[in-house]
Structures are given as C-alpha cells and as structure tokens.
Structure 1
Amino acid sequence: MSIGEEVRAEGTNVLVLDIQKKYLILFNKYKKQFIKANNWKEYYEIVSWSSFEYYFSLNELIKNIN
C-alpha cells in the first residue's frame, strides 16, 4: 500500500492520502468523505481498522488530526 493508491476497504475502494503507524487518512470518492482509520491493518490487500472518524471537508479533518 502506498500514498495515492486505491485500495479495497470495508466493502468499497478508497484512496490512500496518508499512512501513519497508528492511523490512515483515506478518501471515499463515492461518498465524498475523508476517513481517519485508527489501528489499521492490511490483510490480503484489504485494509481494515478498529475504529474510524468520518469528515466531510478537508478543513474539518485537519482540525481534528491528533
């Protein structure tokens, strides 16, 4: 998995915007939402996570990154 790649996750495809040790920043182009995927893992080219936060604007996402 790399930044800019489209990957399979939670029943849909998402675009990888950032990869951190504890979370991923993803974008779902179908629902027009950003996803902060916490405690993620990749298994057989499918990405999953234990918890998540949805954001509907880039500004909202930036304000809530910690």
Structure 2
Amino acid sequence: MKVTVDQGLCCGAGQCVLVAPEVFDQQEEDGLVLLLDPEPGARHAAAVREAAATCPTGAIGLAGEG
C-alpha cells in the first residue's frame, strides 16, 4: 500500500493521527497532516484504510491495495 496526503485539502481535524499514529502526525505550526510512513506494512493497513475513510476532506489517498 502506498499512502499520499494532500495538505491543500487537509483541515487539521487530526482523525488520521488518532487512528494511525504510526503513519500520520500533525505539523505543530498549523495542524496539517504530516505523513510519517508513505508505505506502511500490512500491520498498519486496516488503520490506514480507516484513517482515509474518516478524513473529512479526503486528503488521504491510497494506492496499490491489491
């Protein structure tokens, strides 16, 4: 799985950080998403899918989920 984020869409809600803190963080200055791991392993796949699904602005993209 490959994860991308669009900071231009991010509103700083922080749901991604709550659901998958190993993969996402927030910038201190503005609260926007910060991608820590663009290719998380299978261990984090379910949490990353949940983070993408609960992102209120759709700022998280997923690819290669075969």
Q: Report the structure, 1 or 2, having the larger helix content.
A: 2
Shorter chain as denominator, the TM-score bin is: under 0.3
**TM norm structure 1:** 0.28
**TM norm structure 2:** 0.28
